[in-house]
Structure 1
């Protein structure tokens, strides 16, 4: 039987956590609101002043120099936050938040093909780490607060608070979840999203009109066997796209470093390459986030849910983004992954005989899920973004893409709790960076 003393102790702990999490969520949600407002403004400015693209190489160098002079450990980005969650040490420097905020806004203003999730997650992680130091939290409490910071950043920036909560748990260790942190992480993500909304921020809407096949005179059922098999086949391609994206960045970055050892100068290479690609292709559709296109009917995430077929847009966005990230531009990977996934779904739909809006939605969350190794969070994202009717298809896409993407991903500081395919030489807790290279035990 639980004693009265134990109940009082529990309530006091709960109150203490509430006093920590609410201010953190309010700060993160407010910063995300400002960040999203700034991104909308600079994107509109770039659309109306397209020649600003020619300043991209110099802008990239300026941001890289700021990190070179003042960044220090902040240059570790999302991987630094994951390292601190797994093994708390020096903490995440507070300067990470303003550096990544400014760096991402500048990148988008001049047209770098980067995302926004990295900025939101790093702002949340930076603020959470400094909250932990301010209130002298122990290792366990610091880990929970860092997960809450990551979750609130992702949840607020995409308007998907439950996705943010599950992501904050799932992304830390591949194949394992720490459910003891679920409530504080969920509370922080929900309040941060609510705060962002209170500032008047609205997120893009993606319409999936497909609601399941129905037999004559019968209500629609949530799965059709043939359609399910086709989605599963497409999911294999989504997993390979996730792997191609991650490996593209990891393989190109060393080549850039070999060509130009000065890290602060490397963005100039990416900027020039981006300008050259725009000249070659004659379109600016692959610059920036890609949620909307600068011209009517251009390739964009929103347009992939329509009736127009875009055969190779996903591959071109992958190329633009790999170049930007490998040469050091700041922002994130997730929104470009949305573009790649939705674009690939749009491209495959006519060949597979699948509704285009459905496969664009599945691809959007599945490619993200395969790249971050978070299939549960991304399944929930499908529900939060598109509604729950087609959850079987979203789950199928995310689960298969997760398996087919292999032991790689955009966050190599993830730990492997359970490998995707079991192996006898596996050591729990091995870094994904080592597993990617075929090393499954620390002593190797």
Structure 2
């Protein structure tokens, strides 16, 4: 009987997870193709950056008219995982795809993971509603959608599956969704690659034995990563709240954000901090003369872009910030330059998104096994030091990072004002992961 039930569950998730993976893979392939075309066109026509305020005004008007239900972005997807009466509208997928491509076409500093996760969540919820599955199955399909979007857009299927579980509740993973998340992420990656999409190859750092001296350097490194992660998270959230309070009308808010990016672009005197910034990431692995301020410039460009409401994600800009920071720290601490950039690239996003396990795996998939155990050490320590904050305020938390009993109920990070003023907790508290 158990074997029969297990077999039925396996077949169900191979089918449902595979279906979610296919739609996520196709969506990611279309998105990545358009994104590459938009980036190349902007690089050949740099005057387009001057039109970013106009693009922001137009995008703001469109989102103000038709995008109300989807403005929550990644946080809407995470909230929907926990609320059976909520849903991710189908319109999210096409609107966020077009909005992100236009943001990059005109030079906004944003990433692609947010778009992939939102498309994956929207399409997975569509599948769940069409098939009229139960609430538990729907919740697991949403996790699969997150995994399928993330894994296919970066070409990291195992990290995508783990991210789809780890990002939902800080410090806890819902293993009931592991199989559908893994199937969706693997299938999504295969479909995206099968449609001719090629992911950026990153340099593979050489091996570095872990010694007491190297460990001490990584601990210092982790503190610096945590500080920068906190600065990014706090700057982005506080700037967003300030703009929403002072500038109520979304089109004007997005136009002002675009104008601010243009000003930053002229002040920096370089195109390096526009768009995804992949060339800057690759440069951080090899250039000992990379400007010390590069990570700070990209941090400000990205915080302004996203806080104003322009479309895109945080991952690739955080990869840039982390790799550039790792380059600087490696020079200061006497670590290999490429390994410092690799560890910084993964650990900064791990700390900002509260996903140290997924990003440690992602580092191996992108950069090779030599990054272990270094990236796991730095990512875990930085994750702990950032406290109860992150780029996704809708992430839930069931137990405080520093330990102790379960909280009486799972709460969103946005509800935790400060670590020392957390909600009451008790040994009997329980919640869904």
Alignment of 1:56-67 (within 5 A): 56-67=52-63
Query: Hey, what's the Cα distance between the residues in 2 that align with 1:226 and 1:436?
Result: 37
Structure 2 unaligned spans of 5+: 426-433
Give the TM-score normalised by structure 1: 0.92
2:327 is the counterpart of 1:346: yes
Please state how far the C-alpha of 1:142 moved relative to its aligned partner.
Answer: 0.7
Structure 1 unaligned spans of 5+: 213-221, 293-299
* Aligned counterpart for 2:180 among listed residues 180, 184, 195: 184
2:150 is the counterpart of 1:163: no
Query: Hey, what's the Cα distance between the residues in 2 that align with 1:392 and 1:413?
Result: 30
Q: Which residue of 2 aligns with 1:309?
A: 289
* Aligned counterpart for 2:233 among listed residues 246, 265, 268: 246
Query: Hey, what's the Cα distance between the residues in 2 that align with 1:359 and 1:436?
Result: 33
Q: Which residue of 1 aligns with 2:400?
A: 419
1:116 touches 1:335 (CA, 8 Å); kept in 2?
yes
1:337 touches 1:364 (CA, 8 Å); kept in 2?
yes
Query: Hey, what's the Cα distance between the residues in 2 that align with 1:233 and 1:437?
Result: 24
2:56 touches 2:255 (CA, 8 Å); kept in 1?
yes
2:398 touches 2:409 (CA, 8 Å); kept in 1?
yes
- The farther-off stretch of 252-261 and 409-418 is 252-261
Query: Hey, what's the Cα distance between the residues in 1 that align with 2:61 and 2:245?
Result: 19
1:309 touches 1:346 (CA, 8 Å); kept in 2?
no
Q: Which residue of 2 aligns with 1:54?
A: 50
Q: Which residue of 2 aligns with 1:280?
A: 267
1:408 touches 1:436 (CA, 8 Å); kept in 2?
no
Please state how far the C-alpha of 1:18 moved relative to its aligned partner.
Answer: 2.4
Query: Hey, what's the Cα distance between the residues in 1 that align with 2:151 and 2:9?
Result: 25
Q: Which residue of 2 aligns with 1:217?
A: none
Please state how far the C-alpha of 1:165 moved relative to its aligned partner.
Answer: 0.5
2:110 is the counterpart of 1:128: no
Please state how far the C-alpha of 1:390 moved relative to its aligned partner.
Answer: 2.7
Query: Hey, what's the Cα distance between the residues in 2 that align with 1:442 and 1:89?
Result: 27
Query: Hey, what's the Cα distance between the residues in 2 that align with 1:102 and 1:436?
Result: 35
1:43 touches 1:108 (CA, 8 Å); kept in 2?
yes
Please state how far the C-alpha of 1:14 moved relative to its aligned partner.
Answer: 2.7
- The farther-off stretch of 73-82 and 107-116 is 73-82
- The farther-off stretch of 306-315 and 422-431 is 422-431
2:25 is the counterpart of 1:20: no
Query: Hey, what's the Cα distance between the residues in 1 that align with 2:406 and 2:200?
Result: 45
Please state how far the C-alpha of 1:276 moved relative to its aligned partner.
Answer: 1.0
Query: Hey, what's the Cα distance between the residues in 2 that align with 1:16 and 1:278?
Result: 51
1:154-192 deviations in Å (ceiling 9; x for gaps): 101111111000011110111111112111111110110
Q: Which residue of 1 aligns with 2:76?
A: 80
Secondary structure of the residue aligned to 1:76 is coil
Query: Hey, what's the Cα distance between the residues in 1 that align with 2:377 and 2:273?
Result: 28
1:162 touches 1:380 (CA, 8 Å); kept in 2?
yes
Q: Which residue of 2 aligns with 1:216?
A: none
1:24-68 deviations in Å (ceiling 9; x for gaps): 211110110111111111111111100000110111121122111
* Aligned counterpart for 1:440 among listed residues 397, 400, 422: 422
1:251-291 deviations in Å (ceiling 9; x for gaps): 11122123311122101111111111111221111000000
Query: Hey, what's the Cα distance between the residues in 2 that align with 1:416 and 1:13?
Result: 28
* Aligned counterpart for 2:276 among listed residues 267, 289, 308: 289
Query: Hey, what's the Cα distance between the residues in 2 that align with 1:425 and 1:384?
Result: 33
Query: Hey, what's the Cα distance between the residues in 2 that align with 1:93 and 1:306?
Result: 43
1:425 touches 1:441 (CA, 8 Å); kept in 2?
no
Please state how far the C-alpha of 1:441 moved relative to its aligned partner.
Answer: 2.5
1:312 touches 1:347 (CA, 8 Å); kept in 2?
no
**Count of equivalent residues:** 423
Query: Hey, what's the Cα distance between the residues in 2 that align with 1:168 and 1:28?
Result: 13
1:97 touches 1:126 (CA, 8 Å); kept in 2?
yes
Q: Which residue of 2 aligns with 1:296?
A: none
Q: Which residue of 1 aligns with 2:355?
A: 374
Query: Hey, what's the Cα distance between the residues in 2 that align with 1:408 and 1:309?
Result: 33
Secondary structure of the residue aligned to 1:288 is coil
Query: Hey, what's the Cα distance between the residues in 2 that align with 1:66 and 1:179?
Result: 39
Query: Hey, what's the Cα distance between the residues in 1 that align with 2:329 and 2:11?
Result: 51
Q: Which residue of 1 aligns with 2:340?
A: 359
Deviant stretches of 4+, over 6 Å: none
Secondary structure of the residue aligned to 2:202 is coil
Q: Which residue of 2 aligns with 1:332?
A: 313
1:113 touches 1:288 (CA, 8 Å); kept in 2?
yes
2:28 touches 2:152 (CA, 8 Å); kept in 1?
yes
Q: Which residue of 2 aligns with 1:152?
A: 148
Query: Hey, what's the Cα distance between the residues in 2 that align with 1:45 and 1:186?
Result: 35
Secondary structure of the residue aligned to 2:72 is helix
